[in-house]
Structure 1
Amino acid sequence: MGVLLEVIELHKSFGGVTAVDGVSFDLQEGHLLAMIGPNGAGKSTCFNLINGQLRPDRGKIRILGKDITGMKPRHVWRLGVGRTFQVASTFLSMTVVENVQMVFISSHRKLNSMTKKVSNLYRDEAMELLKLVGVEEQWDRPCGILAYGDLKRVELAMALANNPKLLLMDEPTAGMGLKERLKLMELTARIAKDRNIGVLFTEHDMDVVFSHADFIIVLNYGKLIARGTPTEVRDNEEVKEIYLGSCATGT
């Protein structure tokens, strides 16, 4: 496995507030890297810098050695960076399979084919992904009537339709019950290993983080204060004091 993502001395300020302050880390292919920290630590800003929604003041971002710093989101996406959001982002009036087909259509630059019936385009490929994430039986239902856990699985299928090398997952289990959270992350981990996808995710549920992350980085006030395996981060005194508190010590 090689280095997939390199973040080098990333800086971003908004007015007089420093949101990201010299953050550096890397992510290997096939690994799950959790980015944790209290609210306002800079996690969302880091995500938005990586996928091109924001441009850094200083620093570099590389995917498989290619400098993507400051690229627009659509260009970053075409290089193989997928993303899911804290609030599931789907076309609620369209069916489950149509949502995934839309990503295939965009990925293959066939939006001009929208004059044709969408059901004729990439239907088999979309159904394969729905089967992979476990919602193939709901293929013909509008996304707007799905249970939230199923909606998150559809969003995962949509993120996979672009055949990503890197998957950014912002609070992937937000709004889900404990069993649903663990199942979704088990599924994500299995897909990442099978397809050699690097996954960078933020998460407030420490059970999810310590159960599924290969490595963890911890941010606080825009600075990276710790990195390592789940065991190393759990035992880090600064992390215990600043972020995990009593959760880390079991009290």
Structure 2
Amino acid sequence: MSLLRIESLSKSFDGVKAVDGVSFDLEAGQLLALIGPNGAGKSTCFNMINGQLTPTSGSIRFDGHELAGKRPRDIWRLGVGRTFQIAATFNSMTVLENVQMALLSHERRVFSLFGRVASWRADDALALLDLVGIASHAKRSCAVLAYGDVKRVELAIALANAPKLLLMDEPTAGMAPQERNELMALTARLAKQRNIGVLFTEHSMDVVFEYADRLIVLARGRLIAQGDANTIRNDARVREVYLGTGASFAPRAMLNDGDAS
């Protein structure tokens, strides 16, 4: 049974179909890349799964639950983690406090981190930071971290609810090549070790072809191809949609088409 099953998912804005009858599934422990040119409907599809948008029609089944129409916080508490294209952390707090806040939220607790609760689940938060390789920065403010380190903090936050599904929107945006590969290698390792399904959007084709187990390709709101890296690399329709010439993708080629739409 698939961890995530999308069936005939559609979303219209003022009569225009941003996503049109998209269906796919994702297995636990698998990395699935959702790619496509600008305006393909990637972000719309992504945001429906996360609850930021309500589908016009279709089904989003996750671990036995229907997600369509649920609020993002309710989806998060079902075991869906999320990272964003622009890393979302609290710069006024330390790295450790950021992860503690996520743990507090997951348990529906509301406290001030500046009172006695400052030590609440600190060991658990530190363990998550160690997991993503940034425990040494626990007491530093997020405001002074390098961007690649902020991305690791965000990943630790996304893991605070022990997710079964991790949604990553442009996880390597703004990162240097070495940082990109280190973050995705870490993500792939955690996905296998913890049996987490990962759905990610990405414009850097080197990242996609190196780390995705499977790829799905959208164009003008419709799914036009799916398969492993070789299948997608050699798909004539995908080459035409991306490059307009039918030219082949080269392994680890760099294609940056800008907006994560």
**TM-score band, normalised by shorter chain:** over 0.9
Task: Say if 2:100 and 2:121, in contact at 8 Å, map to a contact too.
Answer: yes
Q: Tell me the SS of whatever aligns to 2:139.
A: coil
TM-align CA RMSD: 1.5
Q: Is the 8 A contact 2:40 2:221 kept in 1?
A: yes
* 1:167 corresponding residue in structure 2: 166
Whole-Å separation in 2 of the counterparts to 1:115 and 1:207: 43
1:105 and 1:111 in contact (8 A); partners too: yes
Amino acid at match of 2:53: L
**How far, CA to CA, are the matches of 2:148 and 2:114 in structure 1?**
32
| Identity across matched positions, percent | 60
Q: Deviations over 1:4-34 (max 9, x none)?
A: 0011000101113210000000000000000
Give the corresponding residue for 1:131. Answer: 130
Q: Provide structure 2 residue ranges, at least 5 long, that are not aligned to the other structure.
A: 254-261
SS class of match (1:227):
strand
Give 2:82's aligned residue: 83
Partner of 2:232: 233
Deviation at 1:65, TM superposition (A): 2.4
Amino acid corresponding to residue 196 of structure 2 in structure 1:
I
Correspondence for 1:143: 142
Report SS of the residue matched to 2:242.
helix
Match of 1:54 in 2: 53
Query: Normalized per residue, which structure has more helix?
Result: 1
The equivalences for 1:64-83 within 5 A come to 64-83=63-82
Gaps of 5+ in 1: none
The amino acid across from 2:208 in the alignment is: V
Contact 2:97 2:113 in 1 (8 A): no
* AA at the equivalent of 1:30: G
Match of 1:152 in 2: 151
Q: CA deviation at 1:249?
A: 4.9
Does the Cα contact within 8 Å between 1:98 and 1:118 map onto a contact in 2?
A: no
Q: CA deviation at 1:97?
A: 0.4
2:110 is the counterpart of 1:111:
yes
Cα shift at 1:129: 0.7
Other structure's SS at 1:35 match: strand
CA–CA distance in structure 1, aligned partners of residues 250 and 165 of structure 2: 33
User: What's the offset of the Cα at 1:53?
Assistant: 0.7
- Confirm or deny: 8 A CA contact 1:13 1:20 kept in the other structure: yes
Q: Which amino acid letter does the alignment assign opposite residue 226 of structure 1?
A: A
For 1:214, the aligned partner's letter is: D
